[in-house]
Amino acid sequence: MQKGALGIVETYGELAAIEAADQALKAANVELLGCEKVRGGLVNITIVGEVGAVRASVDAAVAAVERLNIQVSSHVIPRPIEDLWKILPNKDTEKEQKKENKKAEKQEVKQEEKEAEDTKDKTNLTFLEEKEKELQEMRVVDLRKLAREVETSISRSEIKFANKKELVTALLDYYKEQGGD
């Protein structure tokens, strides 16, 4: 609601601000724009609505705070310039900001999960690359012995006649099936 008048009531302490807001909202058809702790114990409540309603609600708020013997200041701006709304607290803007922050957090989590998965894939690939290098350095006799110990795609009778390339390929396939372990 950015039309009509703007009413501001400034008082000391949150108790007085709550009482002022309660009386302001009960006195007329206005909307509470915000309640903001300033500093040094000062608290502002900001209301908006029709000019007459805002004047009546601000007067009611001031009277309620004065009954509590607490110092109060107030002001009504009948038709504030459009740029003034940018500096005032706005519930809708705060909600949108919170939604954007949550969305950004979710995107960060997804990105971290993707990076972790990529790292896992790279680690697995690195393992297989190291294993291939290790197998390439082995002698054919040792490769055949290793192929007999594990269950490769080559049968035991074929292992006897397999060359180094076939043995390395079969053993790498075995390691891939085992998940890189």
Q: Which of 7-16, 55-64, 104-113 has the lowest mean pLDDT?
A: 104-113
Q: Which helix (H) or strand (E) holds 43?
A: strand 42-49
pTM over 0.85: no
- pLDDT tens readout for residues 36-89: 888 888 999 999 999 999 999 999 999 999 998 888 889 899 988 888 877 776
CA distances from 148 to 2, 88, 160, 180 (A): 82, 78, 9, 19
